[in-house]
Amino acid sequence: MSSPLTFDSETVLAFFLGEVAGARVRDLFDEVRNGKAIGYINVVNLTEVYYILSRLSPAVAEEKQRILRAYGLKVVPVEDDGLWREAAKIKCDHFLSLADAFAVATAKKFMSRLVVGRDKEFDNVGADVLKMR
């Protein structure tokens, strides 16, 4: 089995919007669907994907979140289990959006590779980062 994977919002959007990096993301989603890897997305990142897609079409946003779940991505909730505190610490220490901080905290919690776009903000965040662009 491959390393567990945590997906940042940017990579999920690249997949859904048909960007070049989306093909690489699709390959990773296929690994998750085929049981070759475990995939995670934090509910905060899913929220970001959903609201961005909702601007295009609420129906499309709803369909795409169902597709993510059909691939087998585990949606990680924000509970009072230390995850939100870790995200806050990461946000304090790095120039990241709040959603990006939750992606990093989720990757750290599950000791997974963090799948991101090209954002330099993810450099030196203390997670194993896999850039798609």
**Helix 43-56, helix 98-109: angle, nearest 10:** 140
Query: What's the pLDDT tens digit per position in 47-97?
Result: 999 999 999 999 999 999 999 999 999 999 998 789 999 999 999 999 899
- pLDDT value at 122 more than 90: no
Three-state DSSP class for residue 111: coil
Higher pLDDT, 75 or 124: 75
Domain ranges of the chain: 5-131
Candidates 3.40.50.620, 3.40.50.1010, 3.30.450.40, 3.40.50.720; CATH matching 5-131:
3.40.50.1010
Task: Specify the pLDDT at position 12.
Answer: 97
Whether the pTM exceeds 0.85: the reply is yes
Task: Specify the pLDDT at position 117.
Answer: 87
